[in-house]
Amino acid sequence: MTLALSVELVATIAVVVGVAGAVNGVAGFGFAVVGTMVLAATLDPATAVTFMIIPMFAVNLALVGDLTREELRTCGTRFAPLLVAALVGTLLGMALLDRLPEAPLRILLGFVSLGFVATNQHAIPLPSLPVVSEREFADTPLVMGVVGVVSGVLFGATNVGVQLVAFVRSFDLSHGLFVGVVALVFVGINGLRVGAAGALGLAFKPGTDDMRNSRAIPVVRGLRERGATVTAYDPVATENAREYLDDVDYAESADAALAGADGAVVVTDWDEFATLDEEFDAMADPVVVDGRRVVERRDGITYEGLTW
């Protein structure tokens, strides 16, 4: 994911997280919806969804702390099928997020946001949806499993868990217990997401040929949109890169990519790139934009840095 953190963006994120946290503390939900939807207006949707994982985990962990030990044990046992199924669905949703194009994902987030507002406003009465009248049926592992998987997929891909909230609300728990149970479910889900994000390619790193969400993709596309001719090189990911970037030339080595270039952009911190030296002499204009701070400084090269 590519993310340049300006002062204005950091301030915006802080305000968004603060307001979303206040909503969540009062209502027991809404942090993910508010935070993700607002951030998606500034960042690309996949980045907005991923960015909110750790804040959501922290907020819900604090709310779980309001449960007594006995409530935690009882609710954990009662809603275990829902939690386990939601964990499975969330992994599927994260994999879906990694493959959805930006435009459809942004539209999906928009529709979900409008649905959230519509179902929580009281100015215009909406027709009631059919509900299950027998509590014993909703409390079965099968129903919890189905609701958990479907809700987990949607939550993993969009950060929206309103359907889980509505299901838990149907059990007529006290407000404090309701908030705690919802937080308990989301602590489990987001704890899993924190650990799984890297494995699903949400943070590209050296040592892999996985190009999904690679920082290089938006960088190269941005250069091409501005009329630049791009020659790219990666020690292992060239073949996979062709699936995402088909309008660039690919070099067999770093020195071949640098030869005659007006500038070089380092996007991944491969050890090989840290040892580059005389290869820069072959550039027409030695300007190096080092996005990973791995290139050793030397005379005759103009350096620029980026914050990801």
> pLDDT digits over 226-251, tens only?
888 899 998 887 887 888 888 889 99
- What b/e readout covers 136-174, taking b as 16+ CB neighbours within 10 angstroms? eeebeeebbbebbbbbbbbbbbbbbbbbbbebbeeeebe
SS3 (DSSP) at 264: strand
pLDDT confidence tier of residue 132, bands split at 50, 70 and 90? very low
Task: Kindly state whether residues 292 and 226 are assigned to the same domain.
Answer: yes
Task: Kindly state whether residues 54 and 103 are assigned to the same domain.
Answer: yes
Measured CA to CA, the distance from residue 167 to residue 297 in angstroms comes to 58
* 206 found inside a domain: no
Domain boundary among 144, 165, 196: 196
Burial class of residue 6 in the structure, from the number of CB atoms within 10 Å of its CB (0-12 exposed, 13-18 middle, 19+ buried): exposed
Average pLDDT over residues 114-139: 61
* DSSP per-residue string spanning 81-97: HHHHHHHHHHHHHHHHH
Find the CATH number of the domain harbouring 222: 3.40.50.720
Task: Kindly state whether residues 16 and 118 are assigned to the same domain.
Answer: yes
Residues 6+ apart with CB under 8 A from 80: none
Q: What φ, ψ does residue 249 adopt, rounded to 5°? A: -90, 150
Cβ count within 10 A of residue 62? 14
Query: Domains in the chain: how many in total?
Result: 2
Task: Kindly state whether residues 86 and 230 are assigned to the same domain.
Answer: no
Measured CA to CA, the distance from residue 214 to residue 268 in angstroms comes to 9
Task: Kindly state whether residues 189 and 231 are assigned to the same domain.
Answer: no
Task: Kindly state whether residues 185 and 73 are assigned to the same domain.
Answer: yes
Task: Kindly state whether residues 91 and 160 are assigned to the same domain.
Answer: yes
Residue 231's domain comprises 216-305
Domain boundary among 143, 163, 196: 196
Domain boundary among 196, 225, 242: 196
pLDDT confidence tier of residue 154, bands split at 50, 70 and 90? confident
What is residue 213's predicted lDDT score, i.e. its pLDDT?
64
Q: What is the pLDDT of residues 50-91, one digit of tens each?
A: 667 777 777 678 778 888 888 888 888 888 999 899 888 888
Task: Kindly state whether residues 185 and 235 are assigned to the same domain.
Answer: no
The highest-confidence range among 33-37, 93-97, 123-127, 257-261, by mean pLDDT, is 257-261
* 204 found inside a domain: no
* 207 found inside a domain: no
